[in-house]
Amino acid sequence: MFYAAILLLAAAFFTSFVGTFLARRTARRFGLMDDPGHRKVHTVATPRNGGIGIFWGFALPLLMGVAAVLFFGAQHDIYKVELHFFGYTQTLDLPLYLPGMRAHIPLLLTFLAATLLIHILGLIDDRKAMPPWPKLLAQLAIASALVVAGEFVDPIRGGAFRILTSIGFVPSFLLSVFWIVALTNAFNFLDNMDGLSAGVAFICALAFLIAAIFNGQLFIAALLLTFMGSVLGFLCFNFPPASIFMGDGGSMVLGFILSVLTIRTTYYDASKPPEQRHWFVVLMPLFVMAVPLYDLIIVMVLRVKKGRSPMTGDTNHFSHRLTRHGFSKRGAVLLIYAVTLATGFAAPLLARVNDDASALLLAGQLLAILIVIAILERVGEHTQ
């Protein structure tokens, strides 16, 4: 399946690259330019519709994959497909994979429909800024609809888009909606410097990809590879100095996709023998998402302490404070990449340790990293 994975990554990258290029060319025509302002770090008007490339880089290859599965499923005389890459040939035995692929189509289409709604919501906000609370209510509505829809598209197992289904529908529903909306806004908040939100999303997806491969979840791994390809295609234009921003139509999509994929990833497998089941593996997403969630929480706390709305933008994000302390913009972004790597790559190890003491050591490492961030954040006064 290695060559199929490379094909998926390449298709998403190419689609995103072309989509971002076209979005940049048409941004001014549709009024999707981001002008400099009092809390903006850029100095010239820049397109902010790069989220179009990210969304379609993710969605279009998957829709083409759905069409291919349906086509091959109807061709009873086709049993094998050969994939050719740079002189190498890989043969896929379709009867082994098609039933599982077809079974996932309803889930995938439901997921893509909800992601499209988030993308459209973001584009509307990019076109004309929405008040924070109506936007939050719309996010809650979309997340709730997706979680409820999971009960119908996966009726046999149930809870396709719910966390910890064993705790009951209502608590699981509320926790799932909270998780989706929190991460959607975490990456939206993190989109405050060139290449930051997209780069962090790529690193987080890579950590989750490792976990999915460890668990043998090929469907989740395929979605993560597609997501990573779409983010890379956009980063070609967004890495500092950026020629286009993703806007809310991209940043909210990043958080939404990652939040749902973390729900679909299996961490605790009740079918394993008791000696192979460990409660702490359910904390893996918190390890991976530690940096964006930390930034979200700290920024909201600072805003409330200053008597401001927690949903109102400012320049008190971790990246902003780093630049005020002497880092270049690129240096601040690269430092946050490194911190995300340190926290995210410890997460898959949770599934490989066999005792609470080892898990506590990993948790201690994560805590130490967050303490370092907290110390850096307290250097100087928050004047913005």
In order along its 384 residues, the chain shows pLDDT tens digits of 566 778 889 999 999 999 999 999 998 888 888 877 655 555 578 899 999 999 999 999 999 989 888 876 655 555 555 555 455 555 555 555 666 677 789 999 999 999 999 999 999 999 888 998 999 999 999 999 999 999 888 755 667 899 888 888 899 999 999 999 999 999 999 998 999 999 999 999 999 998 888 777 888 999 999 999 999 999 999 998 899 999 999 999 999 999 999 998 866 554 555 555 566 777 888 889 999 999 999 889 888 888 888 877 777 788 888 888 778 889 999 999 999 998 988 887 777 777 778 788 888 888 898 888 887 766 655 444
pLDDT at 78: 55
Let me know if residue 231 belongs to a domain: yes
Question: Which amino acid, 211?
Answer: A
Domain that holds residue 125: 2-377
Report yes or no: 54 and 16 within 8 Å, Cβ to Cβ: yes
Identify the three-state secondary structure at position 88: strand
pLDDT at 271: 53
Let me know if residue 73 belongs to a domain: yes
Report yes or no: 62 and 116 within 8 Å, Cβ to Cβ: no
Let me know if residue 383 belongs to a domain: no
Q: What Rg, from alpha-carbon coordinates, does the chain have?
A: 21
Let me know if residue 382 belongs to a domain: no
CA 89/CA 342 separation, integer angstroms: 37
Longest dimension (CA), the chain: 71
List of residues 6+ apart from 321 with CB closer than 8 A: 376, 377, 379, 380, 382
Let me know if residue 257 belongs to a domain: yes
CA 172/CA 165 separation, integer angstroms: 6
Contacts 24+ apart (CB under 8 A), 215-221: 215/265, 215/266, 215/267, 215/269, 215/351, 217/264, 217/265, 217/266, 218/1, 219/100, 219/101, 219/104, 220/261, 220/264, 220/265, 221/5
Let me know if residue 16 belongs to a domain: yes
CA 136/CA 174 separation, integer angstroms: 15
Q: Which residues are paired to 89 by β-bridges? A: 84
Let me know if residue 17 belongs to a domain: yes
Structural domain count, the chain:
1
pLDDT at 91: 57
pLDDT at 318: 81
CA 251/CA 247 separation, integer angstroms: 6
- In 3D, which of 225, 238, 232 has the Cα closest to residue 195? 238
